[in-house]
């Protein structure tokens, strides 16, 4: 839609060029009008402009004005339409400049330029991030309800003073490898910088990303309410309701709240209740099990069988049976499963803009499958299993960072040796997986609370770019209310449910924002 407006403008300008050329031809063809001076050997003699030329110039000026007006009107209509169409893809965010770790404010209620000079988030520091397409956004300041503009085609500082967005109000979101975000103004294709280490207004005048051109994009209340008190960007406690819903998608309707967590199954991830929950601010995770060769569900079929992502996968050497659901897939480093995973994850993100992240089932540093014995499997297989799991986790993490998503794993990363417990990562002697934002604690008794309390304090989400910023987001799925409450009182988990099955759960306490993603951000 944006490009449609620009095309309309370019079409009108092309027409103006044709008209101007035609007039020029006529002017040249009139005696005494086509030349402004004649040259002799001794001096330049200037001829007066004739009345005919004056009339033609006036006609040309009127034609240009009318054509440009038409182009601008067409452009504005296209821009207005694009805002309406993008309304469903809007986030409420704040920007924290890495130049000085201060929040960006639409200063003076939006009447002055944007500047990174605030230590807390309130109305002036809050913006609607409106997605135009997969890369570009508009920014609308809550301070005055106007769009942020790279004024004077980027030559002047950013200011929120436009009622309708156009090219000067369009910015490209750039995902940096360290998890920060940069903004490129489409007005001049230059990067926005917090000038003078943040002491001067934001302006689009840089060609390379440095510290001044990096920002943390912090998700706020996605229901659209402007915060009136400072908000913590990421909050994992106290624990709140969650649901694992592999069956009926209608069971998630009570969880359509900002802060809720919903884990979907192999085939219900795109149902309307999941999209409704995402729109309300819930974090919807889509299930994927790379370790078992069960092709049920679109993305498991894409991973296991021949697909656009590559050839069919194979089983682990010796074809060990994992459980009743299938055999152990060969996910060793360099395997087909490893090479196909990124393609599958990218497809999931592209097809499900409502998703907030990936749920990597069975992904741990050692096996607990009942189909074979880990202890007697041998050191070679054990080491290959751990190395393959780390490689898979890196791919999950990398794709999640690219799209602003989270990763939760259902598999243990407990401190210790590979032979005993598998080990954490990167430090095998510490609990947790730095590449995941949290883990899934499934059907454990209250007598194990002490272990899981230590486990939840491990190295979760500490890899660069993780959306959790090192705060662990654990999910306890208990067998009953009493066990769930015991884990909640111990502060073990950010999310808890009492579910024997994988279909229904109760809303046992109130919801609160976490700062986790509720949609594909990038």
Annotate 453-482 with three-state secondary structure. Answer: HHHHCCCCCCCCCCCCCCCCCCEEEECCHH
Task: Please state the φ and ψ torsions of residue 454, each to the nearest 5 degrees.
Answer: -65, -40
Q: Within 13 Å of residue 161, how many CA atoms lie on the same side as its CB?
A: 14
Cα-based distances in Å from 203 to 144, 160, 213, 229, 268: 20, 13, 10, 28, 45
| pLDDT value for 178 | 82
* Helix, strand, coil fractions of the chain, as percent rounded to 5: 30, 25, 45
Read off the pLDDT of residues 252-305 as tens digits, 9 standing for 90 and up. Answer: 999 999 999 999 999 999 999 999 999 999 999 999 999 999 999 999 999 999
Cα-based distances in Å from 371 to 312, 319, 323, 329: 23, 11, 5, 13
With H, G, I as helix, E, B as strand and everything else as coil, classify residue 185: strand
Rounded CA-CA distance 160/139 in Å is 8
What does the DSSP assignment read for 191-231?
EEEETGGGTS-EEEEESS--GGG-EEEEE--TTSPPPSS--
Most distant CA pair in the chain, distance: 109
Rounded CA-CA distance 189/171 in Å is 9
| pLDDT value for 422 | 97
Read off the pLDDT of residues 141-167 as tens digits, 9 standing for 90 and up. Answer: 998 999 999 999 999 999 999 999 999
Contact 356, 287 (CB under 8 A): no
Closest to 473 measured CA to CA, from 290, 261, 207: 261
Rounded CA-CA distance 435/461 in Å is 6
Q: Which two tokens stand for residue 410?
A: 């259902």
Q: Which residue has the tokens 């041998």?
A: 378
Q: Which residue has the tokens 């299930």?
A: 287
CB atoms within 10 A of CB 45: 9
Read off the pLDDT of residues 421-474 as tens digits, 9 standing for 90 and up. Answer: 999 999 999 999 999 999 999 999 999 999 999 999 999 999 988 888 899 999
Contact 472, 463 (CB under 8 A): no
- The per-residue pLDDT of the chain, averaged, comes to 84
Rounded CA-CA distance 361/42 in Å is 91
Read off the pLDDT of residues 48-71 as tens digits, 9 standing for 90 and up. Answer: 444 444 444 444 544 444 443 443
Burial of 247 (0-12, 13-18, 19+ CB in 10 A): middle
Calculate helix-pair angle for 481-489, 449-456, nearest 10 degrees. 50
- Please state the rounded mean pLDDT for residues 379-387: 98
Tell how strand 283-288 and strand 102-106 pair up.
unpaired
Contact 360, 307 (CB under 8 A): no
Rounded CA-CA distance 170/162 in Å is 12
Contact 94, 104 (CB under 8 A): yes
- Please state the rounded mean pLDDT for residues 118-137: 87
Read off the pLDDT of residues 183-195 as tens digits, 9 standing for 90 and up. Answer: 999 999 999 999 9
Residue 233: pLDDT band with limits 50, 70, 90: low
Contact 67, 188 (CB under 8 A): no
CB atoms within 10 A of CB 108: 13
Q: Which residue has the tokens 């199954």?
A: 265
- Please state the rounded mean pLDDT for residues 314-334: 96
- Flag whether pLDDT at 420 surpasses 90: yes
């Amino acid at each position: 839609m944006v490009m449609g407006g620009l095309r309309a403008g370019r079409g009108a300008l092309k027409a103006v060029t044709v008209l101007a050329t035609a007039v020029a031809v006529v002017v040249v063809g009139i005696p005494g009008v086509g030349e402004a001076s004649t040259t002799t050997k001794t001096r330049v003699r200037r001829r007066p402009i004739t009345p005919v030329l004056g009339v033609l110039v006036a006609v040309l000026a009127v034609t240009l004005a009318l054509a440009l007006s038409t182009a601008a009107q067409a452009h504005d209509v296209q821009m207005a339409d694009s805002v309406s169409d993008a309304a469903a893809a809007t986030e409420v965010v704040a920007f924290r400049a890495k130049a000085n770790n201060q929040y960006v404010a639409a200063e003076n209620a939006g009447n002055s330029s944007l500047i990174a000079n605030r230590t807390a988030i309130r109305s002036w520091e809050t913006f609607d991030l409106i997605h135009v397409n997969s890369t570009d956004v508009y920014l609308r300041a809550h301070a005055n309800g106007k769009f942020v503009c790279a004024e004077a085609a980027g030559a002047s500082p950013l200011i929120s003073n436009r009622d309708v967005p156009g090219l000067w109000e369009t910015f490209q979101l750039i995902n940096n490898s360290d998890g920060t975000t940069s903004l490129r103004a489409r007005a001049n294709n230059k990067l926005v910088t917090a000038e003078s280490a943040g002491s001067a207004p934001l302006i689009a005048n840089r060609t390379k990303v440095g510290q001044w051109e990096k920002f943390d994009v912090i998700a706020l209340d996605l229901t659209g309410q402007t915060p009136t008190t400072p908000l913590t960007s990421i909050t994992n406690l106290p624990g709140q309701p969650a649901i694992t819903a592999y069956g009926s998608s209608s069971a998630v309707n009570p969880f359509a709240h900002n802060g809720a967590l919903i884990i979907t199954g192999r085939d219900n991830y795109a149902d309307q209740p999941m999209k409704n929950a995402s729109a309300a601010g819930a974090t919807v995770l889509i299930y994927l099990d790379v370790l078992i060769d069960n092709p049920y569900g679109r993305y498991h079929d894409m991973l296991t069988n021949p697909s656009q992502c590559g050839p069919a996968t194979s089983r682990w050497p010796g074809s060990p049976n994992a459980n009743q659901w299938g055999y152990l897939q060969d996910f060793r480093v360099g395997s087909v499963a490893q090479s196909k995973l990124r393609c599958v994850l990218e497809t999931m993100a592209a097809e499900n803009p409502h998703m907030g992240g990936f749920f990597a089932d069975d992904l741990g540093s050692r096996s607990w499958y009942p189909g074979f014995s880990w202890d007697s499997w041998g050191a070679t297989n054990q080491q290959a299993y751990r190395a393959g799991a780390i490689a898979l986790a890196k791919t999950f993490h990398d794709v999640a960072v690219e799209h602003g998503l989270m990763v939760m794993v259902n598999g243990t990363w407990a401190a210790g040796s590979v032979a005993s417990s598998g080990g954490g990562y990167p430090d095998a002697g510490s609990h947790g997986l730095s590449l995941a934002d949290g883990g899934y604690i499934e059907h454990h008794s209250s007598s194990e609370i002490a272990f899981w309390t230590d486990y939840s304090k491990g190295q979760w989400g500490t890899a660069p770019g993780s959306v959790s910023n090192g705060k662990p987001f654990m999910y306890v799925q208990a067998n009953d209310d009493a066990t769930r409450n015991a884990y909640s009182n111990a502060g073990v988990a950010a999310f808890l449910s009492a579910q024997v099955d994988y279909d229904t759960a109760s809303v046992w306490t109130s919801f609160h924002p976490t700062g986790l993603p509720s949609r594909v951000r990038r």
